[in-house]
Amino acid sequence: SSSGSGSSSFRRKPVIIIVVGMAGSGKTTLMHRLVCHTHLKDIRGYVVNLDPAVMTLPYAANIDVRDTVKYKEVMKQFNLGPNGGILTSLNLFATKFDEVISVIEKRADQLDYVLVDTPGQIEIFTWSASGAIITEAFASTFPTVVAYVVDTPRSEDPTTFMSNMLYACSILYKTRLPLILTFNKVDVAAHQFALEWMEDFEAFQTAASSDHSYSSTLTQSLSLVLDEFYNNLKSVGVSAVSGVGMEAFFNAVEASAEEYMETY
Ligand code: GTP
């Protein structure tokens, strides 16, 4: 069922988009915007929610972890705090993830994209066994890309910028999947500064040197290492609120899916 020139025997569609980002980066708002965009443009989308603890979602999910696992009951049953509850709920869901994959496989011919929302506490997904199992299950069946959402206004602070880049870098090397740096909230601050910092680490070092703390020294050394990492990335600026950048986002997804088809 594959098409195109890639040597891969995977299906070309749907492309899985795993959306991750630090709490407050605007992940949920962006998911909502992406879902709206697919409706508007007649793109055939499917939505998977992997956040067991989210109270209300602004969009309708086709597959929702909350239908299968009751997070509050898991907390009670296993005597866990909130984070342990989310982690255990995701572990329980991961054991049945082959069912999720077959549901998507059955609909594959009618789908362009599957948008996957992940828990608000990013490390619960990126550093857990279940997160790895779920990512691997997707990536071994469909072209899969990661959208790493960045809070652009907050990242104008060089140390916050560096924290975000290190996190994204660790996700890239852990998942080995194409990664799209998705600079969100460009209605508040344009992401031009970030592109400049990624292109020219001396410009970044100059910005960082105004901060004389220890972490600033560390930050400056790390920027050299990250140079190589930046070469492996795509970056887009978006606003979940204004809707700017949606075309650029899906273009980056398409290019990343191509990359996936050539590599895997
Ligand atoms: P979860 O933790 O997964 O629930 O999502 P999140 O915390 O990453 O992001 P959420 O969507 O809850 O957004 C956090 C805050 O950022 C909210 O106050 C949003 O209104 C705001 N926000 C999100 N996207 C944008 C944007 O593009 N522009 C502006 N100005 N604000 C935004």
Write the pLDDT tens digit of every residue in 117-135. 999 889 999 989 999 999 9
Average pLDDT, the chain: 91
> Does residue 234's CB lie within 6 angstroms of at least one atom of ligand 1?
no
Cα–Cα distance, 125 to 128 (Å, whole number): 6
pLDDT of residue 231: 87
Ligand 1 centre from 26 Cα, in Å? 3
pLDDT of residue 159: 87
- Of ligand 1's listed atoms, the one at least distance from the Cα of 30 is 24
Tokens of 246: 């949606």
Write the pLDDT tens digit of every residue in 57-82. 999 999 999 999 999 999 999 999 99
Cα–Cα distance, 218 to 230 (Å, whole number): 18
Ligand 1 centre from 55 Cα, in Å? 15
Cα separations in angstroms, 55 against 72, 89, 91, 104, 120: 11, 15, 19, 25, 12
| Residue 161 pLDDT grade (very low, low, confident, very high; cuts 50, 70, 90) | very high
172-195: average pLDDT: 97
Cα–Cα distance, 213 to 219 (Å, whole number): 10
The alpha carbon dihedral of 207, 211, 212, 216 has a sign of negative
Ligand 1 centre from 151 Cα, in Å? 9
User: At which residue do the structure tokens 């279940």 appear?
Assistant: 130
Tokens of 19: 């959306």
Other residues' Cβ atoms within 10 Å of the Cβ of residue 117: 28
Task: Write the single-letter amino acid at 60.
Answer: A
| Residue 208 pLDDT grade (very low, low, confident, very high; cuts 50, 70, 90) | confident
Cα–Cα distance, 107 to 16 (Å, whole number): 13
Residue whose CA is closest, atom 3 of ligand 1?
120
pLDDT of residue 222: 78
DSSP state of 60: -
DSSP state of 155: G
> Does residue 188's CB lie within 6 angstroms of at least one atom of ligand 1?
yes
> Does residue 119's CB lie within 6 angstroms of at least one atom of ligand 1?
no
46-55: average pLDDT: 96
Per-residue pLDDT at 106 exceeds 80: yes
Ligand 1 centre from 242 Cα, in Å? 12
Residue whose CA is closest, atom 30 of ligand 1?
185
Ligand 1 pocket test, pick from 27, 29, 35 with the greatest ligand atom count within 8 Å of Cβ, gives: 29
Considering the chain, what percentage of its residues have pLDDT values greater than 70? 94
Per-residue pLDDT at 212 exceeds 80: no
Q: Integer distance in angstroms from the first to the last C-alpha of the chain?
A: 16
